[in-house]
Amino acid sequence: MSEATAQHSHDEADSHHVAATNTGIPNKKLAMWAFLASDCMFFGTLISTHLIYRRVNPDVVIDGNVVPVTSIFDIELTSASTFILLMSSLTMALTVSAMHKHNVKAARWFLLSTIFFGSLFIGAQVYEFNHFVHNEAHPLTLTNTIFGSTFYVLTGTHGVHVLIGLIWLTTWYFYSFSPKFNEENVMDIEVTGLYWHFVDIVWILIFPLVYILEYI
Amino acid sequence: MANGTTTTIPHDSGHDAEHDKPQRSFFRLVQRPQQGCHPVIDWLTTVDHKKIGIMYGAFALLFLLVGGVEALMIRAQLFLPENDFVTARLYNQLFTMHGTTMIFLAVMPLNAAFFNYMMILQIGARDVAFPRLNAFSLWSFVAGAVLINLSWFWEAFHGGWFGYAPLSTKDYNPGMGADFWILSLQILGVASLAASFNFITTILNMRAPGLKMMRMPVFTWMTLITSFLIILAFPAITIALVELMFDRHFGTHFFDATFGGKPILWQHLFWIFGHPEVYILILPAMGIVSEVLPTFSRKPLFGYPLIVMSGAFIGFLGFAVWSHHMFTVGLGVVATTAFSLMTMLIAIPTGVKIFNWIGTLWGGKIHFTTPMLYSLGFIWMFMMGGFTGIMHSSVPVDHQQQDSYFVVAHFHYVLIGGALFALFSGIYYWMPKMSGKLMNETWGKISFWIMFFGFNLAFFPMHLLGMAGMPRRTHTYLGDMGWNEWNMWSTAGAMILGVGIGSAVVQVVYTWAKGKKCGMDPWDARTLEWATANPPKDYNFARIPEINARDQVWANKYGKPEEKSGPGEPEPHGIHMPDRSWYPMSASFGLFMVGLGMVFHKQNFLGWDHTLEMVYIGGGILLLSIYLWALEGPRGYHVHPEED
């Protein structure tokens, strides 16, 4: 009974028997895909709220003055942080790939770089928010314009997703030193990777639709 | 499973010896309950889908009665013109809470009870894909339900179950009622979403060998479609509620017209959730009826592929018709025409289903048992509701009927005559499987006829009231409008319906306690759940069955030789069952505390001034529970079933 027993111990009932699932996809991965499907709808709702309100209210009026959004935005910084987030997707892919090759050491380094890039992105977002709010000429806050309301809630929700991803990745980083960390966790990290890639992809939508569109 | 495939997976030595012992870990806060623990602890920490299903059902019936009392108070108020049984404010709270309770706390969890209990058995699985997540769904539902009903002790929401902004914004609804409502719905949303991820994974991945998609029982199909509807529709209301909460508490302007916000955004977001929600409520009912009719007609379901596909088509169209709730808003000719046409399209798959059900009955040897009566009642009353639905899909007609009692009649025919009658059909049909005991047929039939009569007496006159111009949600009315008589009949009917539902609930409780025991297949039924013991063992199936036919149990009894199947492979190492866990419950409790703390934000809660602390503590409990949950693993124990 030994091997069959041990095999079950780290997973929900039978989920890692890839061959045993009807679709051939492990349970955790399929559940993550289902979660991401609903997350698409979360972000879809927020992005459409922002775009529709942007179209309805072409002027951003702060303290009685029409303020072009481009004078508030810092497109260079955001472009840089977008690039950094993309890089984190690359290192995440490398993490998963290293895990598949059973190279835990390399995976750990790639994991750490993903955390580093992700943190840089979050740092840039915190700086950006702070910068916008304390913009001396025309501060953009959550409450002074509808643009501020939709912008901060949308990008803030994305930021929360990144933050959850960072907590998750950091947990993996420390857990990877545990003796219980074994090859069964390869799939778990792959699932975390799916989440991380999704968060990046959403940003790839937000960046042109919320930022670049203002410059066109 | 072949033993050879497992040898490549390395594991730390000593793991096996550790396996069946209580867990010892640095992170262990509480003893993980083992086999033979106290029954109360067993139910609180269970990860067994059957116990979870039973608890869903019990809570749903409880809240059905709560919502019913709210409904009867509404009807009592409308019994006489210029009545002052309740105040206008309480009346508004009553219809708000009645709608919210019935949809989210009664019909959806009653559906979930059968999803949990029956769907797993129907696909020949041992449990859902994530048993602890399943328990988390249940306890989050309980947390949300308790939170929203707590609001009665402070201030219940009085803005309608649709919560239209700006009626629900701070300016027009300054009290805590709206906050209770918003946060409870968010928690209930978490519960529904988590359950749906679980069911989708379970159905797609964990079917018994040979159970192809097009061999799945229709109820399982409807569970799958409903789960997809939930994961795609709930995010819209979640975001709408987030936006409303930000407007109320953090000064944003999503629904604030002075800053360029548009209240109509709420309506769009609400109904793009709200219309699929209608199908979330009715598709499982259609699934139940599609199980009951063939069983008691002694015939296979007529047009199985069409029933399945029309279910999927209804689910798909459900997302394309939301604006028919907004015909009178003034969206313009193109939009209303498009949504009118899309809405009329839904009549096609629905009609297909109804004709298939009639085709199932046609030439069958019909047994008029209680579940069959409820299912037949469903077809008749759902058709009634469907016909008035077609009337609403016509824009000019809808302009007349909007916000009149005609609409109330329509959706009660769909949701009581439809969903609730089908659910009672399911209760009477599946009770032998869930409790091992048969419900009393005579009493069941009496209850059915009381319900059927009371329901039609209560809601048919509302069509007439609506056509006579009586508006919805009105607290009272003058005596010379010509509405008095029908309102009296309607209230009398509602009381009779209440007696009928109450008697059925009493029967459920009585059967559970003292019912007559029965065999594993008392109805001579068709699908896989009837191949298990009565009630099923923890592991459901001693051997996972192999499937060669759509109605395997029927095929084994009466089918062609090539469709019959053997008992399946025995498990070489015994059956692995996951352990119980405290953490789903504690995580839900954390969620509840976060919600409660946010409702009482800046208010005094039972002498506690700093309720923001409660949010932090609740969040901490939630986060800690998630970590402990992840670290404890499902672990588990082995069962070696004596074959029965």
- Which residues pair with residue B146 across a beta bridge? none
Q: Does B108 touch chain A (CB under 8 A)?
A: no
Residue B1: the pLDDT is: 34
**How far is A2 from B394, CA to CA, in rounded Å?**
67
Work out the mean pLDDT of chain A and round it to a whole number: 89
**Residue B132 host element (H or E):** helix B131-150
> Contact B350/B314 with Cβ under 8 angstroms?
yes
Q: Min CA distance, B318 vs chain A (Å)? A: 15
Q: In a 3-state reduction of DSSP, which class is residue A216? A: coil
**How far is B608 from B493, CA to CA, in rounded Å?**
46
A180/B251 CB distance under 8 A? no
Question: Minimum mean pLDDT among A163-172, A181-190, B228-237, B320-329: which range?
Answer: A181-190
- pTM, two decimals, is 0.93
Superfamily name and number for A27-212: Cytochrome c oxidase, subunit III, four-helix bundle (1.20.120.80)
> Contact B132/B629 with Cβ under 8 angstroms?
yes
User: What pairing do the DSSP bridges indicate for beta strands B516-517 and B575-577?
Assistant: unpaired
For each successive 10 residues of chain B (644 residues), what is the average pLDDT? 32 41 56 84 94 96 97 96 95 96 96 96 94 96 96 94 93 92 96 97 94 95 97 96 95 93 94 96 96 95 96 95 93 94 95 96 95 96 94 93 95 95 97 93 96 97 95 93 95 97 96 92 93 90 91 91 85 86 95 93 76 90 94 86 66
In chain A, which residue's Cα lies nearest the Cα of B13? A6
Residue B5: the pLDDT is: 30
- Domain ranges in chain A are 27-212
B206/A22 CB distance under 8 A? yes
Residue B28: the pLDDT is: 58
**How far is B627 from A193, CA to CA, in rounded Å?**
19
Using a CB-CB cut-off of 8 Å, the residues of chain A touching B242 are 153
Residues 6-35 of A with CB under 8 A from B: 6-15, 17, 19-23, 25, 27, 30-31, 34-35
Residues 176-215 of B with CB under 8 A from A: 193, 196-198, 200-201, 204-207
**How far is B399 from A111, CA to CA, in rounded Å?**
59
Residue B14: the pLDDT is: 37
Residue A8: the pLDDT is: 39
φ/ψ of residue B361, rounded to 5: -70, -30
Contacts of B294 (CB under 8 A, 6+ apart): B300, B301, B360, B526, B551
Among candidates A9, A30, A183 on the partner chain, residue whose Cβ is nearest the Cβ of B635: A9
Q: How far apart are the first and last CA of chain B?
A: 22
> Contact B59/B116 with Cβ under 8 angstroms?
no
Token reading at B188: 């209930």
Cα atoms in the Cβ-side hemisphere of radius 13 Å centred on B78: 32
**How far is B518 from B183, CA to CA, in rounded Å?**
44
Question: Minimum mean pLDDT among A162-171, A185-194, B572-581: which range?
Answer: B572-581
**Residue B638 host element (H or E):** strand B637-639
From residue B376, alpha-carbon distances to B301, B321, B382, B424 in Å are 15, 28, 10, 12
- Indicate if the alpha-carbon torsion angle B545, B546, B547, B552 is positive or negative: negative
Residue B27: the pLDDT is: 53
How many residues can be counted in chain B?
644
Fill in the amino acid letter for B97.
M
Tens of pLDDT along A80-125?
999 999 999 999 999 999 999 999 999 999 999 999 999 999 999 9
Q: With both helix axes pointing from N to C terminus, report the angle between B370-393 and B263-297 in degrees, rounded to the nearest 10.
A: 140
Q: Does A177 touch chain B (CB under 8 A)?
A: no
Token reading at A158: 């994305």
Tens of pLDDT along A30-46?
999 999 999 999 999 99
Fill in the amino acid letter for B320.
A
A5/B250 CB distance under 8 A? no
Q: Which domains does chain B have, with CATH numbers?
A: 570-643 (1.10.287.70)
